[in-house]
Structures are given as structure tokens and as C-alpha cells.
Chain A
Amino acid sequence: MAQDGITRDRPDPDSADLAARHGLSVSGARPGLVEYIRRLWQHRYFIGEFARARSSAKYTRARLGGLWFVLTPLLNAAVYYLIFGLLLGTSRGVADFVSFLVTGVFVFTFTRNTVTSGVKSISGERGLIRALHFPRAVLPITQVTIQLRQIAISMVVLMVIVVARGNFPDWGWLLVVPVLVLQLLFNTGLAMWAARLGSKSTDAAQWLPFVLRAWMYGSGVLYLVEDRAANAPAWVLNLLDMQPAAVYIDLMRFALMNTENFGTEYLPAHVWLLALGWALLSLFAGFVYFYRAEEEYGRD
């Protein structure tokens, strides 16, 4: 140990012993997992209020204000429709391409936006981290909550479009709720993973968008992947079919659309198991990965 400081009031050599005698605990030490979750639960109001504040502050300087919550997903879908539907003609082989495309874009955007905002959730709130004491998991979870508000608005827009295209509400629409819940769990885990990744260096914020774009093209957002990759080996097709984004997008399409290839009756049971498995795996792994670095956030 370097003795740079002149210390007059030096505690016992065994200061740990003194601390223990008076019931002092190590400051800033990471609590146990159960205690951590309990503290996180205590901060639920903060998460809600923080998310509300952040998302209402998002468009306060825009002239159209809150209208952008509706316009952003709509414009997004419109651009993809223009390029992939009209120019490239990927709509071949898909009945009701508009509903197909819009559902895919909205569902995937939910995941994509949670990851990209999760990456910045720790590094962007350094001031808050250095000023106040709260479980750091509050920050990525706040970002997920913000995106949840956005997807709730998007879902209303989506349902209007889907109905306008002639897919009228039936009992299958109730499946939207479990699909969104599972995707939410999946996204939460992903956001926490991304948050730790982005907390140390900003590299992750640079390369993640490319990974996400590749993921989108491989998830059948804009076309039927099975048609496009018909020549690929069977295991590749299986992989593309069973990866989480494809699972959640397909489930949402099954729930909302009634065309010949997407109806509730065609839904294989194992897809639900996959959706549940991905959600739990992501949530558990992401949470533990984030939690293990709890003491490190705010160092740089």
C-alpha cells in the first residue's frame, strides 16, 4: 500500500472489526440478488415516473409534439412499403402484404429500440448515477418502459391498419397480450445486457445498429424468409425460423391476420414454448449479467 497520506486519526489496524462491532456495512457494496430485486421493486414508482417524464420530454421541442409517437412508426412502415413492396416487389407470395409488413416492422422496432436505448441507458445517465443511490437496473428498465409506451401506441395504429385491410377482430386478437408480455420480458433482458455492454465503452453503440439491421433482414420483417432463402440448407432455415425476433413477429401476425398463410388455426404449439423459452432465457441471463457489474457503473 502506498502511504501518501498523513493520517492522524487512523482507525484500528483491524477496522473491519470496529465496523462490525458497530454494525457498519461496506458503502456501495452490491447487495444479494434477492435484496437487489427487493430494492428494485421499491423503486417501481421512480421507474414509472422517470419513463413518463423522459417520453413526454422527448418531443416537447417538436412543433407536432406527441403526434410523433404515431407518425414515427407510420413513416417507418411507409418507407419500407415504398422500397420493398413497390420497388423491389418482395410482396409476391404474401397475401395482404401491407398488414404483413406493418406488423413485422412494428414488432421488430420494439425490440430494436429497446436495445439501442438500452446501450445508452447507463452511459447517458452518468450524472444521475454519480449523484443518487438506486439499483442501477432502474435505468435500462426505464428505457424498456419508455419503449413499452411507444409500442402501446403503435399497436393501436397497427390494429387500425389491419382492420382497414379487412382482418376483422376475432378471439385470436386476445393473443396479442401474451405475445407482447413475452416480447417485453425478452427485450428487458436484452436491454440489460446492452446496458452493461455500453457502460464501459461506446463501441457497442456503434456496432450494435449493424447487428440489429442484419437481424432485421434475417427475421422476415419485409418478406417471407422461407421464400427468399429457399436454396439455403435446412438447418439455416430452421435457425432463421426459431430465432426470437422471427418467433415474436410470427406470433403477432398469427394473432392479428386472417389470410391463408397467417391464421390462428395454423399456429403450431411449439412456437409458444419457444417464445416463452427465449423470454425467460434472455431475462435471466441479461439480469444476472447486468447485476454482476453493479458496483462498476459510474466509474467511467
Chain B
Amino acid sequence: MTDVSEQAQQSGQAEAEQNRPPTVIVDNLHIVYRLRGSAAGGKGKGGGKGKAELRAQAAAARQEQQQERRRSGRGRASRALRRLTGRTDASEKKGGRTVHAIKGVSFTAYRGEAIGVIGSNGSGKSTILRAIAGLMPAEAGRVYTEGQPSLLGVNAALMNDLSGERNVILGCLAMGMTPQEAYEKREDIIKFSGINEKGDFSSLPMRAYSSGMAARLRFAIASAKNHDVLMIDEALATGDRKFRRRSEARIRELRGEAGTVFLVSHSNKSIRDTCDRVLWLESGSLVMDGPTDEVLEAYEEFMNG
């Protein structure tokens, strides 16, 4: 794997394209989270808008605070009312508060690659995976993918009031399986998750599970399907060692079947074990993109320094 990807880097784009077709193209992607957004804001196509917007907002907030201090003699209700009425004309421009999570990231992933995504907390790792999966709309830029990429998140919502078995069926159907397929896979999924090792937990509601058990079940459900482009978010960090070994084996298996695998993890060891290329994100920008050893070395230096 490693030598092929190095070759792709050394030789030109054209040759790389012949050897292995691209599966994911991310082209100058910007992602902006809107908090308490008004419907009027943010249809703009222009990039770089986010920062200017943030600055304008900060200024507006300061102004508001000053005004508030001046009028602080009056009641809270009247202030709230003024805030409400004052905001109606201003919000057209502001569109609520925003978080510019991804700032112009570009890269191309090729078939057969396993790509690790690293960076400190809040650097936009999970966000970029969501964007590739088409779950987060882009503010500017584009993501092109082969087929429908799947995101294996350990945070995927399951229903706490329902039994594990019921959640397995529900998860399978949500991934587009037919009921027959879902019922056929149920036993395997529960066995793989290992939740029944400590008694008959699969028939208990999920609120009775420990957090590790719930995470294992989620991973087991999501990995039950084969994917073209597969993205795994911190999945290896969950569960005990026994389950970790099992899930690493499953990921290798999925990688064989899938075109491209992305792995977000804080564990440099699991990145080293499974990936041949690494993207390093820091506060929404791509710092480095290259072979695993090179990037991890620079990253470790950065984190220790």
C-alpha cells in the first residue's frame, strides 16, 4: 500500500490517475455551523465571508453591550423586548452566530487508500467526515464522491428506550437494508458486539447498557454493511482490548472491500497500524498531507512542543 501511494505522490497527477481512480475529491471546502440562525442569512457563494462575518458580529455584540450598560436602569423585560426588536433588522445581515469549522480544505483520495485524519480537539476532523458523507452542507467549495460514502460514527443516535435487538433492526433498515437482510444479520451483529457476554443484554433497553457496551453495539451495527467509501470516527477508541482487536480486524476486512477508508482517531498507534496516508487538520485548515510516518512525526513534535 505504502509504496504505491508514495509513487502517486512522486509521479504526476496523470499517472496516479491511471493507476488508481479518485474516489473522493474535496475542493476548497468551507463549512460553517450556524447557531440560532435566521432564515435570511447565509446564501452567499463567496468564500472568506465567514471571518469578516465573525468580526462584524463581534463588533455588533460589543456595541450592544455598551448600549445595554447605558440603559441598565430599566427592567429586564424591556431590555429583552428591545433586543428582540433591535435584532429584526440587524439579523438580516448577521444571520445569527457562526462557527467557521472548515476553512478551505482541498485534497484528493484514491481507491485503495487508507487515510488517517488527525488534529487536536475541535480542529474539524469529524466535521470534514460529515461533509464528505454529505451530512453537512458546504458553505463554499465542493465534495465529489464515488457512490454514497458511509460514516461510521460511534455517536450515531440510537434509541435508549428500545432493546438492543430492536436498535439493530432499526439501524440496518436506516442503512437501506430490506427487513429480511436486517433480520438475517441480527444474530451476527449482536454476537460481534459481544453485549451478550455478560448475560442477555440484547433484550434489555439500551438505557441499561454501560457506555462501552452501547458504543460497541453502534459500531457493530454500522460495520454490518459493505461500503464504497468508508469513514470511521474514533471507533477504535471504544471498548476493551478484546473488542478493539476484533474491530481492527473488521476494519481491515471492510477496507479490502471498500474503495477508500478514512479513520479519525486520537490514537497514533491505530493510525500507524491502519493508514498509509495522513491528513493533519488544525482549526479547520489542512496543515499537512502526506505519508503516515512523516506527518505523525511532525504532529507529535507539534503536540509536545
Contacts of B108 in A (CB 8 A): 9, 11, 15, 18
Give Cα A180 to B153, complex, Å.
40
Measured CB to CB, the closest approach of chain B to A204, in angstroms, equals 11
Size bracket, chain B contacts: 35 or more
Write the chain A residue with the least CB distance to B48: A2
- Supplied contacts A7-B107, A28-B133, 8 more A-B pairs, CB within 8 Å: A4-B103, A4-B285, A5-B106, A18-B22, A27-B132, A42-B176, A129-B135, A133-B148
Contact B21 A22 (CB under 8 A): yes
Q: If the complex has contacts A3-B104, A28-B137, A45-B173, are A201 and B33 also in contact, measured as CB distance less than 8 A?
A: no
Chain A residue with the shortest CB-CB distance to B35: A300
Please name all residues of chain B whose beta carbon is closer than 8 Å to the beta carbon of A53 when the two chains form the complex: 159, 162, 166, 170
A12 contacts B by Cβ under 8 Å: yes
- 11 A-B pairs whose Cβ atoms sit less than 8 Å apart in the complex: A4-B103, A7-B106, A19-B25, A24-B22, A26-B143, A27-B134, A61-B161, A127-B156, A132-B151, A133-B151, A298-B136
- With beta carbons under 8 angstroms apart, the residue of A25, A61, A131, A200 that contacts B157 is A131
B51 near A2 with CB under 8 A, answer yes
* Residue B86 interfacial (CB < 8 Å): no
Are A28 and B106 neighbours in the complex by a CB distance under 8 Å? no
Interface 9-mer from B209-217, B267-275, B286-294, B296-304: B286-294
Given contacts A7-B107, A11-B25, contact A133 B133 (CB under 8 A): yes
Residues B106 and A10 in contact, CB atoms below 8 Å apart: yes
Please, how many angstroms separate the alpha-carbon atoms of A22 and B23 in the complex?
Answer: 8
Q: List, in ascending order, chain A residues with CB within 8 A of B161's CB.
A: 57, 60-61
Residues of A within 8 A of B138 (CB): 28
Closest to A24 in B: B144
Give the chain A neighbours of B30 by CB distance below 8 A.
2
B146 within 8 A of A: yes
Q: How far is the CB of A228 from chain B (nearest CB, A)?
A: 36
Is the CB–CB distance between A132 and B174 below 8 Å? yes
Kindly name the residue among B96, B107, B150, B287 whose own CB sees the greatest number of chain A CB atoms within 10 A. B107
Of B33, B140, B179, the residue contacting A299 (CB under 8 A) is B33
Q: Does B130 contact A (CB under 8 A)?
A: yes
- The answer to whether A49 touches B25, judged by C-beta atoms less than 8 angstroms apart, is no
Cα distance A183–B140 in the bound complex, in angstroms: 42
For A227, the chain B residues whose CB sits under 8 A away are none
Interface readout for A18-48 with B: 1 if CB under 8 Å, 0 if not? 1100111111110000000000001101100
Contact B143 A11 (CB under 8 A): no
Tell me whether A88 is interfacial, beta carbon within 8 Å: no
Cβ of B244 under 8 Å from chain A: no
Complex CA gap A135/B155 in Å reads 20
Contact flag A1-B106 (CB < 8 Å), given A27-B144, A49-B173, A201-B36: no
